[in-house]
A and B are shown apart, each in its own frame.
Chain A
């Protein structure tokens, strides 16, 4: 042992060993420190990253919100103007209904409706105003309203009707969604084809089926459409592309807000797209009363016999021509209608009448010969009861 102690090599080794172990310990500590630091840095980095993401998102959302607010109020003005113009046009149409100008007025009306619809669609994307309050309307009328909001409305044909109405709250959204569908259907099919609409009753409510004879959608387009129609759509006006494709985004939003369903996942029998709008029972009501006063009032007027043309339904000649019915005596003095007279005449009345009759015949006989030079028409028309003058 002592020899080891005296051996300088031993000491040298010992020193070396101690030095190495100290270094090792120190290094290990450094490594640990470094590792800690790296970990800290990593954490900080993630923190920063999430912070950055958050602020970017916030900025984006804020920008989106601001865009929405601006667009919303801008659209509100445009929608108001379009609605106002529509009212003016309605007035003009009744005012100049019998002139050739009506044709032009109808055309302006058509353009105005399309314009109004565009503004309305953008407003929907910006959570804005959907339009004035509407009365309950029949499904058929809502479909026709939608039809009127697109350019090629002449190509749309409604093949069936149902006896249901749509609640006032849902009239505008359903019309707008359908208009967007019809716009797609007419835009993506050739101009000489017809877009068919079938309205059907199904256990869940009512289906409005829109079939076009276009080229259909590619898988990519279909995926995009389905995404926009489902709830996973990106909200807002960003990302609609240029030119913007509002259609499905608008429809998706309206579906979510008002509780109806739209699907475009089937092909139409004509090779194009079949879009199906399912209106649940919550949005349906009984058929609203038609505002036109038409048949009932006319019929009563006819029955009363004082209409412009007496009732002819019962009387027609063999060859189908209406038979003229005898007109009722004209009542010159109001209230002197025959019904007002008592059924049984009193004695004095009877006497008066008979007296008048007698006087009449007497004067008739008396004036007969001297009136021979007069025309026969005047003689025959001589009056009874006025003779005492």
Chain B
């Protein structure tokens, strides 16, 4: 027995991911992409007891504010697709609010940046 145990590889996780997702399908890419932002629904003070520990963990993660799906997945040890399935089911259950990702920044105008750069160069360059 002991020599057997010696070469025993480490065991795979006890609870398989398909059980964690309850056999649900992957959500659509449009519905929940990697950069979709999620946060816990504000009007949900009583945490439903029926949620699995993984779902609770995800809700805890999201309770601090908007996080992207990719970030949420990064904080768990679950495969990304599994996190997406869980998040979408939480959103369906009304525990999560999703928001489409912020449009790639209209924050800084390229021309202004260029002018700043020119100005800096003129002064110090």
Complex-state Cα separation, A133 to B60, whole angstroms:
31
Q: Is the CB of A375 within 8 A of B64?
A: no
**In the complex the two chains form, is A106's CB within 8 Å of B17's CB?**
yes
Size class of B's contact patch? 35 or more
CB neighbours of B39 from chain A (8 A): 322
Q: Which residues of A contact B9 (CB under 8 A)?
A: 83-84, 87, 132
A374-B119 contact, Cβ under 8 Å, with A309-B65, A309-B66: yes
Bound Cα distance from A172 to B58, whole angstroms = 27
Cα distance A308–B66 in the bound complex, in angstroms: 10
Check A313 against B119 for contact (C-beta < 8 Å): no
Is the Cβ of A113 less than 8 Å from the Cβ of B76? no
Q: Is A2 on the interface with B (CB-CB < 8 A)?
A: no
Are A302 and B79 interface neighbours, CB within 8 A?
no
**Which chain A positions have C-beta within 8 A of B79?**
93-94, 96-97, 102
Q: Which of B19, B60, B115 contacts A377 (CB 8 A)?
A: B115
Closest residue on chain A to residue B22 by CB atoms? A154
A312 and B17 contacting across the interface, CB-CB below 8 Å: no
Which A residues are in CB contact (< 8 Å) with B82?
Answer: 93, 97, 102
Contacts of B124 in A (CB 8 A): 386, 389
Q: How far, in whole Å, are A381 and B117 apart by their CA atoms in the complex?
A: 11
Q: Are B53 and A90 in contact (CB under 8 A)?
A: no
- Interface magnitude class on chain A: 35 or more
Closest A-chain residue to B8, C-beta based?
A132
8 Å CB interface, A330-378 against B:
374-375, 377-378
Interface of A toward B, CB cutoff 8 Å: 83-84, 86-87, 89-90, 93-94, 96-100, 102-103, 106-107, 109-110, 113, 129, 131-135, 137-138, 140-142, 144-145, 147-148, 153-154, 159-161, 171, 175, 290-295, 297-299, 302, 308-309, 311-313, 316, 320, 322, 374-375, 377-379, 381-382, 386, 389
Q: Which 6 pairs, one residue from A and one from B, show the smallest C-beta to C-beta distance?
A: A378-B119, A97-B79, A312-B65, A97-B80, A102-B81, A148-B19
B: which residues have CB within 8 A of A? 4-5, 8-23, 25-26, 34, 39, 42, 49-50, 52-54, 57, 60-61, 63-67, 71, 73, 75-82, 112, 115-116, 118-120, 122-124
